[in-house]
Amino acid sequence: MQISVGCRLRYTTVIPTNFVFQIEAATADSQVVRRECLTLPGNETGSGYDVYCDSVTLTRKVRCLLGPGQVEARYEATVDVGAGAYDPKSVGEFDFQNLPLAYLEYIAPSRYCPYDTFTEFAHKTFGAVPRGHGRVTAICDWIHGNIRYQSGSTGPWCNGADVFKSREGVCRDFAHLGISLCRALGIPARYAGVYAHGMQPQDFHAVFQVYLRGPDRGEWFSFDATRMSSVDALVRIAAGRDAADVAFAWPQGEVTFDALEVWVDAPERAHNLRTMKAIGV
């Protein structure tokens, strides 16, 4: 499937300010960037920008000096998405002793995912559910049925425990709660920022990914507890332990955020179609 994505971010800076952007499509086996263009304005010092790709998550970072005045970062890409699609019943969990050591950090608590808060609840609610993709789906079903999606209801300080208590949040909160419940059950889980087809209104979106045992090998599988996107029509941007690792922009100074525009187009796909397959990334 081919998906066209893009974004435009506009800021006002008083002095030249360093930024880190994470807005480019990740370079992964499951998604191939066919065409892309990143446009950043110049600045009074004439500096260029530095690029880096994380070897584990494949997140691409751009560091640049922008301003002073109004500045705009723009990114456009055409991406071929060909994630593996499996029967959910064929996707299981790893026993702890067989989990690769590289994934142990994804069962540990992090800033926004205090899984130890949920240990008793998670085992009581999901402990008897057959292990595997279906159990994570049951977690998503519970979140979707018990947490109200409400724009502006939470801020950058809210973690999974706060959302569990308030019973409302936005996509990042749904993802943090899903990650927390999975980690409480010993299932490795991480946060992912994505371009998602079919969002209304269109914006950057957050889902969570879980490391499970697929038919052939261990893989990350995507889940969206908001049910606002379909996990087979996502373009991954960045991944990490939680939202602290996955900010789309990180200005190193005082700036004013003026405007954000995101667009996603998948001509081959209906907006309201949701896959029932297990999607490996």
Residue ranges of domains in the chain: 2-82+252-256, 84-246+275-280
- Under-70 pLDDT residues of the chain: 43-47, 271-272
Q: How far apart are CA 30 and CA 281, in angstroms?
A: 6
Give domain 2-82+252-256's CATH architecture.
Answer: Sandwich (2.60)
The pLDDT score that the predictor gives to residue 43 is 65
Looking at residue 184, its pLDDT comes to 97
Q: Which of 215, 200, 196, 1 is nearest to 88 (CA)?
A: 215
Q: What is the pLDDT of residue 45?
A: 61
CATH architecture of 84-246+275-280: Roll (3.10)
Task: Indicate the pTM of the whole model.
Answer: 0.94
Sign for the pseudo-dihedral over CA of 155, 156, 158, 164: positive
Whether the link from the prior residue into 41 is cis, omega within 30° of 0, is no
